[in-house]
Amino acid sequence: MKKTLAIIVLAIMILSTVAFVGCNKSKGDLRFVMPDGTPALAVATILGESTIGGYNVKTEIIASTAIQTEIGGEKADIIIAPTNAGANLINKGADYKLVSVAVEGSLYLIGKPEKVDGSNTITLDDLRGKRIASIGQNNTPDKVFKYIIDNTDGVTYDDKNDIITFGDGQTATIEWCADGPAAKVALMRENNPCDFAIVGEPAATAFGTPNGGGFSARMDLQAMYKAVNGNDVNFPQASLFVKTSLTTDAEFMTALFKALEDSKAWVVANPAEVTAKLQEKGSTSTFPAPSIPRCSVVVTKADNEAVQDAIITYLTLMIPSVNWAEVDMFI
């Protein structure tokens, strides 16, 4: 009798173990990618491997030049990408949904205080007769700055010749740079240096330090964008794209948003630790602590009309040939 009872107990334990393992079996493996910089900042605490909503998720930084291939070839399951690039590929058939904004505008026009009479605030009037180094030709920095100029009375932007003209005939010229380091070279060269530069965070803050050149005067381009647009939201610089099939898994989506919210909270609470944490996972970016709030990392779900309208407004600015209101890109 005791032997029989022992066998029964053992059988129950085995069945319970199998049931437990079965209930906790992973739903599968997912790949989550994003370029370095502020998109990587948005996932600071989940870079590497983690479990999210029952899936094994590998989160990794990839080259920015690979983002188009990842979305267009539907390779990654989850991607943080420039909003216009990801949405354009959805319009062309990529099977993803834009589920949230991950990084709002984080672009600044910077210069030295002596260029603006000792003030740390740059205005459009300060650009008269000046030369501006800028990243992002034909992309967000270019389009957003042109949008600001075109919606400001008394100023025009000739994008064919890269010239800004003021009402009194004075001009400012744009010099295009491949990236932030190239813009810094343009600011600091001995012959014909640029007076100002348009760069993103964290470079804008880094350039403002004594070791970075002392370019601490700034114009907040997202604040200017809001002012001329009349919409109290920054432009959606980068967004979160998820394969359509995954967006129907409520458990996963809830867990994903929580992971992103928790990561953002950690970044805000630990600005001095951000750089080391990201560089451990392959980032080459440096985030000075004061740059963290300016990097505009958010978790803004695109599940309501106001957010969707703001995204559509931005996309219409970036790619006006598409009727974005008719593109099925939201959940």
Convert 44-92 into a string of H (helix), E (strand) and C (coil): CCCCEEEEECCEEEEEEECCHHHHHHHHHCCCCCEEEEEHHHHHHHHHC
Query: What's the CA gap between 216 and 209, in Å, rounded?
Result: 7
Q: State residue 27's pLDDT score.
A: 87
CA angle 295, 175, 122 (to 5 degrees): 50
User: What's the CATH fold of domain 107-229?
Assistant: D-Maltodextrin-Binding Protein; domain 2 (3.40.190)
Query: What's the CA gap between 272 and 267, in Å, rounded?
Result: 9
Query: What's the CA gap between 159 and 139, in Å, rounded?
Result: 12
Among residues 240, 37, 237, 35, the alpha carbon closest in space to that of 143 is found at 237
* 192: helix, strand or coil: coil
- Provide mean pLDDT across the span 130-143: 94
- Provide mean pLDDT across the span 251-265: 97
Helices 305-318 and 83-91: angle between axes, nearest 10 degrees: 90
pLDDT-wise least confident of 22-36, 129-143, 147-161, 283-297: 22-36
Domain 27-105+235-326 has CATH 3.40.190.10: yes
Query: Which residues are CB-neighbours of 95 under 8 A, at least 6 positions away?
Result: 74, 243, 244, 245
Provide the residue count of the chain. Answer: 331
Q: State residue 64's pLDDT score.
A: 86
More confident residue, 308 or 64: 308
- Asked, colleague to colleague, whether 27-105+235-326 and 107-229 share their fold, the answer is yes
CB 297 within 8 A of CB 264: yes
CB 127 within 8 A of CB 172: yes
CB 176 within 8 A of CB 137: yes
Quick: pLDDT tens for 17-46: 444 444 456 789 999 999 999 999 999 999
The half-sphere exposure of 105 on its side-chain side, counting CA atoms within 13 A, is 25
CB 127 within 8 A of CB 164: yes
Single pTM value for the model = 0.87
Query: Which residues are CB-neighbours of 81 under 8 A, at least 6 positions away?
Result: 34, 35, 39, 67, 70, 71, 238, 239, 241
- Residue 312: which pLDDT band, with cuts at 50, 70 and 90? very high
* CA-to-CA separations, 181 to 120, 143, 278, 312, in angstroms, rounded: 22, 21, 20, 32
Q: State residue 14's pLDDT score.
A: 44
CB 259 within 8 A of CB 253: no
Q: Is the pLDDT of residue 7 over 80?
A: no
Q: Where are the domains of the chain?
A: 27-105+235-326, 107-229
Give the rounded percent of residues in the chain with a pLDDT score beyond 70: 92
- Provide mean pLDDT across the span 252-263: 97
Q: Are strands 155-158 and 163-166 parallel, antiparallel or unpaired?
A: antiparallel
Amino acid sitting at position 192: N
